[in-house]
Chain A
Amino acid sequence: MNSELQKEGKGKTLQKKASIKDVNKYAYYFLAPFFITYAIFNLYPTLYTIVLSFLDVSGFEIVGKFVGFQNFINLFNNNVFIQSVKNTAILWTVNFIPQITLAMILAYWFTNNRLKLKGQNLFKSLFYFPNIMTAASVAVIFYTLFSYPRGPINQILIGIGVLETPFDFFRNVFFTRGIVSFIQFWMWYGQTTLVLISGILSIDDSLYEAAIIDGATAWQSFTKITLPLIRPITLYVMITSLIGGLQMFDIPLLLTNGGPNGSVDTIMTYIYKQAFQGGRNISIASTASVVLLLITMLASLLVIIYFRRSSNTEKKE
Chain B
Amino acid sequence: MKKYWKKFLGVGIASLLVLSACGDSGDSGSSDSSSSDITEDEDVELETYGSGDEVLEVWSFTDEINTMVEDYFVPANPDLGYKIEIVNIPTEEFETKLDPIISTNDAPDVILLEQNFAKKYVESGLLADLTQFSNVIEGSEDTYDYVKGIGTSEDGVFNATAWQAAPGAFFYRQSMAEEYLNASTPEEMQEKIKDWDSFIETARELKEASDGEKYMISSSGADLRFPYLGSRDTGWVVDDELVIDDKVYEMMETANMMIDEGLMLDVEAEGEEYFAGMNSDEIFGYTLPTWGLHFWLKPNAENTAGDWRMVQGPASYFRGGTWIGMLDNSEMKEAASELITFVATDEEFLTQWAKDTGDVVSNQKVVEAIKDEYSDEFLGGQNHYAAFSEMIDDINTDIITEYDQEINSLFLDDALTPFSKGEVELDDAINTFKGQVQNSYPSLTVE
Contacts and interface: CB of A to CB of B under 8 A. Distances in A.
A59 B125 CA distance: 12
Interface in B271-286: 271-273
Nearest to A121: B6
Consensus secondary structure, chain B interface = helix
A126 interface: yes
A146 to B, nearest CB: 12
Q: Which of A74, A79, A80, A137: most chain B CB closer than 10 A?
A: A137
Interface stretch (B15-23, B145-153, B202-210, B290-298): B15-23
Contacts of A260: 417-418, 423
Contacts of B423: 171, 260-261
B13 interface: yes
Contacts of B273: 147-150
A134 B440 contact: no
A131 to B, nearest CB: 11
A261 B418 contact: yes
B77 interface: no
A33 interface: no
A223 B96 CA distance: 52
B445 interface: no
A243 to B, nearest CB: 25
A122 B103 contact: no
A137 B40 CA distance: 11
Interface in A251-270: 254, 257, 259-262
Contacts of B267: 148-149
A159 interface: no
B13 A125 contact: yes
A254 B413 contact: no
A136 B13 contact: no
A306 interface: no
B14 interface: yes
A37 B11 CA distance: 35
Contacts of B36: 257
Nearest to A147: B272
A140 B6 contact: no
A122 B38 contact: no
A239 to B, nearest CB: 28
Given A122-B9, A122-B10, A129-B14, A137 B21 contact: yes
B271 A254 contact: no
B443 A279 contact: yes
Contacts of B435: 79-80
A133 B435 CA distance: 36
A147 B276 CA distance: 14
A60 B9 CA distance: 54
B441 interface: yes
Interface residues of A, number: 45
A282 to B, nearest CB: 10
B17 A132 contact: yes
Q: For this complex, into which size category does the number of interface residues on chain B fall?
A: 35 or more
Contact of A133 (B17, B39, B441): B17
B102 interface: yes
Interface in B119-142: 124-126
Contacts of B338: none
Contacts of A280: 99
Contact of B439 (A62, A78, A136, A148): A78
A129 to B, nearest CB: 5
A184 interface: no
A149 B25 CA distance: 20
A80 B17 contact: no
B355 interface: no
Nearest to B406: A278
B441 A140 contact: no
30 contacts: A60-B99, A60-B125, A74-B442, A78-B439, A79-B435, A80-B439, A121-B10, A122-B6, A122-B9, A126-B10, A129-B13, A132-B14, A132-B17, A133-B18, A137-B21, A137-B22, A147-B271, A148-B267, A148-B273, A149-B273, A168-B421, A171-B418, A171-B421, A254-B38, A257-B36, A261-B432, A276-B96, A278-B403, A279-B406, A281-B442
Interface of A: 58-60, 62, 74, 78-81, 119, 121-122, 125-126, 129, 132-134, 136-140, 144, 147-150, 168, 171, 254, 257, 259-262, 273-274, 276-281, 284
Interface of B: 6-7, 9-10, 13-14, 17-18, 21-22, 25, 36, 38-39, 41, 95-96, 99, 102-103, 124-126, 267-268, 271-273, 403, 406, 410, 413-414, 417-418, 421, 423-424, 432, 435-436, 439-443
Q: Closest 10 A-B residue pairs measured CB to CB?
A: A278-B440, A278-B406, A137-B21, A125-B10, A279-B441, A80-B439, A133-B21, A60-B124, A254-B38, A276-B96
